[in-house]
């Protein structure tokens, strides 16, 4: 059987037997190394998606593979009823490098946000009573696909068809402090937002917006939750995106890049909230197993010690400057947004033709919202790889323009 028909067979199998919840690109990937992946035909792709902001150290990072192998021979899983060293160490690392005092481990971004929502509700319930339970989140936000997190998500395309949604969520426009102020009454227990909106189209707030949100929250004893699932872990050129804005939350959620591809999420919070999550209040079977925790610790240590976060900042600036050159050439590029290595390019037309043409040329990129191209390369990406992407974009956009 030749490789082309192998690819077709894989696609046929998947389309026949799986729910078609994804409209997938018609390639089957079999191998990865750094910022590159290969399909079943041996075709090479430059990867500027990185598993959607997951593979920060790149594909099959030797550090990840080695840690995975070593820990897999020691201990893979035990119940969270027992202590394990890798989990305790990871918690210590996260706390020592953040505003937080406590960590809860889970398996995904949605679960981290579930934990955040539950913690905020329970804390407010105990402190102020059940009336105070409203969580304000943002229009155009994305917090996940479970019932609670889609109820917290300000996008109809995520919420549609799942009524009745979980009650107790209200929405205000992102980056609009007046609207938020108007809604913050006695019934509100928390404000939840992404410091930089990812799925919403890579939207950065005004420099002082998060500070104003924090002040409103503090004045009214309302909790502040930052969802850093996409923009945390060095993506923006700082370990956490909120560091750019000089504000800390009460609760923060992490996932995507935390395990460099192993499923792990985390919900971090200040010590004041510790009491609200006592024994029996929340749990998950797989959260922070020794295997994933060992890998996440190794990844975080490397991010901090090997300079990858500064690197993301530096090459991110270079990347943006190169895209600005394209913007001068192609008037359909309307705006370039982002921080570090999360970059969005808004066009006056759909992004899909650019994304699909790049795929043919051997470059993986994705969109965020209809008209925004989004780049989320591994943080280890180099200038040559960025140059190579820019050449492909130039070619593809040139053809689009004619
Ligand atoms: C991806 C994402 C989530 C959901 O994470 P899952 O691991 O897919 O559940 C939540 N919030 C943000 C900001 C995300 O980007």
Mean pLDDT for 254-268 is 98
Mean pLDDT for 187-207 is 98
The pLDDT value given to residue 2: 67
Whether 1 has a pLDDT exceeding 80, the answer reads no
* 40-91: pLDDT as tens digits: 999 999 999 999 999 999 999 999 999 999 999 999 999 999 999 999 999 9
32 lines ligand 1 (CB under 6 A): no
Beta partners for residue 338, in sequence order: 343
Q: Which domains does the chain have, with CATH numbers?
A: 3-61+307-401 (3.90.1150.10), 75-305 (3.40.640.10)
230 lines ligand 1 (CB under 6 A): yes
* 264-297: pLDDT as tens digits: 999 999 999 999 999 999 999 999 999 999 999 9
Whether 5 has a pLDDT exceeding 90, the answer reads no
| Dist. CA 305–CA 225, nearest whole Å | 28
Sorted by sequence, the CB contacts under 8 Å of residue 32 that are 6+ apart come out as 38, 47, 55, 58, 59, 60
The pLDDT value given to residue 400: 87
Percent of the chain with pLDDT over 90: 98
229 lines ligand 1 (CB under 6 A): yes
108 lines ligand 1 (CB under 6 A): yes
| Dist. CA 86–CA 91, nearest whole Å | 9
3-state helix, strand, coil in the chain (%, to 5): 40, 20, 40
Sorted by sequence, the CB contacts under 8 Å of residue 377 that are 6+ apart come out as 35, 47, 48, 49, 50, 341, 385
* 85-143: pLDDT as tens digits: 999 999 999 999 999 999 999 999 999 999 999 999 999 999 999 999 999 999 999 99
Q: In which band, very low, low, confident or very high, does the pLDDT at 401 lie, cut at 50, 70 and 90? A: confident
The pLDDT value given to residue 3: 66
**Burial (CB count <10 Å: 0-12, 13-18, 19+), residue 20:** exposed
The pLDDT value given to residue 6: 86
Pocket test for ligand 1, best of 53, 56, 105, 142 (most atoms within 8 A of CB): 142
Atom of ligand 1 nearest to the CA of 113: 10
Sorted by sequence, the CB contacts under 8 Å of residue 81 that are 6+ apart come out as none
What is the pLDDT of the chain when averaged over all its residues? 97
| Dist. CA 266–CA 378, nearest whole Å | 20
143 lines ligand 1 (CB under 6 A): yes
Dihedral sign, Cα of residue 51, residue 198, residue 48, residue 399: positive
199 lines ligand 1 (CB under 6 A): yes
């Amino acid at each position: 059987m030749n490789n082309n028909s192998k690819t077709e067979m894989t696609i046929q199998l998947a389309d026949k037997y799986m729910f078609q919840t994804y409209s997938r690109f018609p390639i089957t990937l079999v191998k990865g190394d750094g910022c590159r992946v290969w399909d079943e035909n041996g075709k090479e792709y430059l990867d500027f998606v990185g598993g959607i902001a997951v593979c920060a150290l790149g594909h099959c990072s030797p550090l990840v593979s080695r840690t995975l192998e070593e820990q897999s021979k020691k201990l893979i899983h035990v119940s969270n009823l027992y202590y394990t060293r890798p989990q305790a160490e990871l918690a210590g690392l996260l706390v020592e490098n953040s505003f937080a005092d406590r960590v809860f481990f889970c398996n995904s971004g949605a679960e981290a946000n579930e934990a955040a929502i539950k913690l905020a509700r329970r804390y407010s319930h105990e402190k102020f009573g059940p009336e105070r339970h409203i969580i304000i989140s943002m229009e155009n936000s994305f917090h996940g696909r479970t019932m609670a997190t889609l109820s917290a998500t300000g996008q109809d395309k995520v919420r549609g068809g799942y009524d009745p949604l979980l009650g107790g969520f209200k929405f205000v426009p992102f980056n609009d402090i007046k609207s938020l102020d108007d809604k913050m009454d006695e019934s509100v227990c928390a404000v939840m937002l992404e410091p930089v909106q990812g799925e919403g189209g890579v939207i950065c707030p005004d420099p002082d917006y998060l500070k104003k949100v924090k002040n409103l929250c503090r004045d009214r004893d309302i909790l502040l939750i930052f969802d850093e699932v996409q923009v945390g872990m060095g993506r923006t050129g700082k370990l956490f995106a909120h560091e750019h804005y000089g504000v800390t939350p009460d609760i923060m959620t992490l996932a995507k890049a935390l395990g460099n591809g192993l499923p792990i999420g985390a919900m971090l919070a200040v010590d004041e909230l510790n009491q609200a999550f006592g024994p029996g209040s929340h749990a998950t079977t797989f959260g922070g197993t020794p295997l994933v925790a060992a890998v996440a610790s190794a990844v975080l240590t490397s991010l901090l010690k090997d300079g990858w976060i500064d690197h993301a900042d530096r090459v991110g600036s270079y990347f943006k400057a190169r895209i600005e050159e394209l913007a001068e050439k192609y008037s359909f590029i309307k705006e370039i947004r982002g921080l570090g290595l999360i970059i969005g390019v808004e066009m006056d037309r759909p992004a899909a033709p650019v994304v699909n043409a790049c795929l043919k040329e051997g470059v993986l990129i994705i969109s965020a919202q209809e008209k925004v191209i989004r780049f989320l390369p591994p943080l280890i990406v180099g200038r040559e790889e960025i140059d190579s992407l820019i050449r492909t974009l130039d070619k593809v956009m040139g053809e689009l323009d004619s």
